[in-house]
Amino acid sequence: MARKKEYNEEAVVEKAPELFWRNGYENTSMQMLEKEMGINKFSIYSSFGSKNGLFLESLKCYKQRLSTLMSKLENSSNGLLSIKLYFYDFLEFSKDNELSKGCLVTNAANELGETPDIEIQEALVQFANGVKLLFTTILKQDSEKNEFVVEAQANYLLIAMYGLSSASRVFTAIQLENYIEHTFKNL
Amino acid sequence: MARKKEYNEEAVVEKAPELFWRNGYENTSMQMLEKEMGINKFSIYSSFGSKNGLFLESLKCYKQRLSTLMSKLENSSNGLLSIKLYFYDFLEFSKDNELSKGCLVTNAANELGETPDIEIQEALVQFANGVKLLFTTILKQDSEKNEFVVEAQANYLLIAMYGLSSASRVFTAIQLENYIEHTFKNL
DNA sequence: CCCAAAACTAAACGGGTGTTTAGTTATTTA
DNA sequence: TAAATAACTAAACACCCGTTTAGTTTTGGG
């Protein structure tokens, strides 16, 4: 064997999501990542293979951070009210200054071009499936709803969440609160 | 005087929005624009000044195309039902293949970085204001709604439209239809 | 008819991108 | 302690970007 790494991979990768989240994939350069992560390009490439690889690891980090909110929802028992709270929690979670950074996953989806990277696309789809499943589980707490209603409402809420994430980067907190309240009035 | 232009500015600029719409601003290169518009870079620069200038002109084109739908809504008298129809009309308008290209304005907003171009930002805000004003006008057709309700609902519908545009690039037609129906359920 | 001016072509420009590669330093093991 | 090997530094790589510029062609007015 030989020389040891001077950095901890799991520690430095934590610095990457913030940049991708704030600037998007294309507008985050290796130069910025070098500076933010505190290691140079060679080390990034030897640890993560490519910018794409690093982004995929960043997605994992992001999901883990968001898992706090998702666990809270998963362990709640107030049905729709809990989901509404999740919407508000998400806004708080993604708050940057007066505006929000949106959602790393949604931002990445909005950035997808005509020929998207398959691995990234797959990661985004899986994340969406996870959120929808979570909504479905909570909605089923209300035994009055049959499976078709649950399916339709979960779909509705998934798209509403997607829209909220995207819109949160542009609209004010008051407007977003108004949006959430109206969104749940319809259920 | 001297030589005449071999192309018509108003004709060639019509080709640009499609590219920006489909690929976004950053992922549309001058090379692609040259090919699509059928004139070379020098001509583009002498007619539109810069890539930014061309994009601003493209936004104008896009607004004009969308104005067909907006006029239809403006001249309707079925209140909320007309707005719902506008949502469906928009999906049809933005249809590409099985998925949609979304909305050029929304796509641009989703692409905005930390220090956005002022002119572009202004154009996007003005567009949003126009849509909101249109929704407000239609909502006022229902005399039962006081001004606060109208304001809140217009805001809600604006964000819902923003979300729908963003989501339309990712979700299926059935999912989007389900979203629209839920959106208008309790207004 | 000729010359000035505008429109064209095409190449070059400077800079930034993601990625790779020499060359050096440090550490482990035999 | 010496050879081997992995981690580091930093420069170079090839490419693409938006933009400009030199040089040519076309045109219209004096």
Question: Would the pLDDT of A171 be above 70?
Answer: yes
Closest-CA distance, A22 to chain B, in angstroms, reads 8
Confidence tier at A175 by pLDDT (50, 70, 90): very high
pLDDT: which is higher, B187 or A2: B187
User: CA–C1' distance A49–C20 (Å)?
Assistant: 12
| Cβ <8 Å between A27 and B113 | yes
Question: Would the pLDDT of A14 be above 80?
Answer: yes
Nearest to A116 by CA among B170, B13, B72: B170
Q: Are B58 and B13 a contacting pair, CB within 8 Å?
A: yes
Residues 6+ apart with CB under 8 A from A132: A154, A155, A158
pLDDT of residue B3: 77
| Chain A residues within 8 A of B173 when measuring between CB atoms | none
Q: How far apart are CA A88 and CA A94, in angstroms?
A: 10
Structural domains of chain A, with CATH? 9-185 (1.10.357.10)
pLDDT of residue B1: 63
| Chain A residues within 8 A of B167 when measuring between CB atoms | 159, 162-163, 166
Specify the amino acid at residue B3. Answer: R
Q: How far apart are CA A56 and CA A163, in angstroms?
A: 23
- Residue B95's SS3 state is strand
The pTM of this model reads 0.95
Confidence tier at A1 by pLDDT (50, 70, 90): low
How many of the other CB atoms lie within 10 Å of CB of A176? 20
What's the mean pLDDT when you consider all of chain A? 96
Q: How far apart are CA B126 and CA B117, in angstroms?
A: 14
Taking CB atoms and an 8 Å cut-off, how many pairs form between chains A and B? 100
pLDDT of residue A168: 98
Nearest to B182 among A156, A170, A171 (CB): A156
Closest-CA distance, A55 to chain B, in angstroms, reads 18
C-alpha distances in angstroms, B130 versus A60, B53, B135, B158?
A: 40, 22, 9, 10
Q: How many helices (H) and strands (E) does chain A have?
A: 10, 0
Closest-CA distance, A6 to chain B, in angstroms, reads 33
| Tens digit of each residue's pLDDT, chain B (187 residues) | 677 888 999 999 999 999 999 999 999 999 999 999 999 999 999 999 999 999 999 999 999 999 999 999 999 999 999 999 999 999 999 998 889 999 999 999 999 998 899 999 999 999 999 999 999 999 999 999 999 999 999 999 999 999 999 999 999 999 999 999 999 998 9
Question: Would the pLDDT of A102 be above 90?
Answer: yes
Residue A153: in which H helix or E strand, if any? helix A147-167
Residue with CA nearest D20 C1'?
Answer: B42
pLDDT: which is higher, A118 or B3: A118
First to last CA, chain B: 62
pLDDT of residue B2: 74
Six-digit token string for B148: 């606060």
DSSP state of B112: -
How many of the other CB atoms lie within 10 Å of CB of B87? 21
